[in-house]
Amino acid sequence: MEGHALIEAEYARLTDEFSRTQSQAVADAERLLYKGGGTEHYAQMLARASGTPDEQLPELAKLAAQSGLADLEQAVAVVANQRRPGGTSPLFRDWVAKDPERQAAFDRLRGTPRAGQFYARTLGVKPPKAKREQIEPTAADLQKAAEEKAAKDRPRQAFFGYPGPRRRVGRKVS
């Protein structure tokens, strides 16, 4: 019963640490894929790309890639992904595939369960609570322990013999 509190504390510490690590990894992946440089230029490119009709997005993405305009290329990819959520946009997938770091971030996002699923999975490994009667030793357990102790003490008693009567001297018993 005392050990269960320690197990619960360790479980809480490990799940908190794991959750924090996973949350940070997801935030980093989202930042890489969707936030751009966080500059004003990226924000302008995102606004420009969002005003572009769907049929002109591939042409704009190709032009941005050929011109080396990374902010515009990312903005077009993000807009295309927003119009076809779930990473199903060919423009977005092509943009992600051009860089191994982006591909790793995309794979991280697709492979990490959402918060509800994550919580349910961590509960799945939570140590079970035991009832008092399940962890208290039964009569059979006590009998087995007594037999094991007697078996362990047998060689010592055979060598030293059984303790004789206690002698009393004054107030002390020896």
Q: Which tens digit of pLDDT belongs to each residue from 115-165?
A: 788 888 777 777 777 777 777 788 888 899 999 999 998 888 888 776 666
What is the structure's pLDDT at 168?
64
What is the structure's pLDDT at 5?
79
What is the structure's pLDDT at 157?
81
Is residue 95 within 8 A of residue 36, CB to CB? The reply is no
Structure tokens at 75: 């903005």
Cα 32 versus chain centre, distance:
21
Q: Which residue has the tokens 């199903």?
A: 88
Element (H, E) at 35: none
Structure tokens at 91: 């423009």
pLDDT digits (tens, 9 = 90+) for 62-121: 998 888 888 888 999 989 988 887 667 888 999 999 999 999 999 998 888 887 888 887
Residues 6+ apart with CB under 8 A from 69: 45
- Residues in the chain, how many? 174
Domain borders along the chain are 2-124, 137-173
pLDDT digits (tens, 9 = 90+) for 21-71: 988 999 999 988 888 766 788 888 888 888 888 888 999 999 988 888 888
What is the structure's pLDDT at 120?
81
Please state the rounded mean pLDDT for residues 3-14. Answer: 84
**Burial (CB count within 10 angstroms: exposed 0-12, middle 13-18, buried 19+), residue 151:** exposed
Instruction: In whole angstroms, give the CA distance from residue 103 to residue 86.
Output: 15
What is the structure's pLDDT at 162?
67
Instruction: In whole angstroms, give the CA distance from residue 47 to residue 169.
Output: 100
Is residue 134 within 8 A of residue 127, CB to CB? The reply is no
Instruction: In whole angstroms, give the CA distance from residue 24 to residue 158.
Output: 65
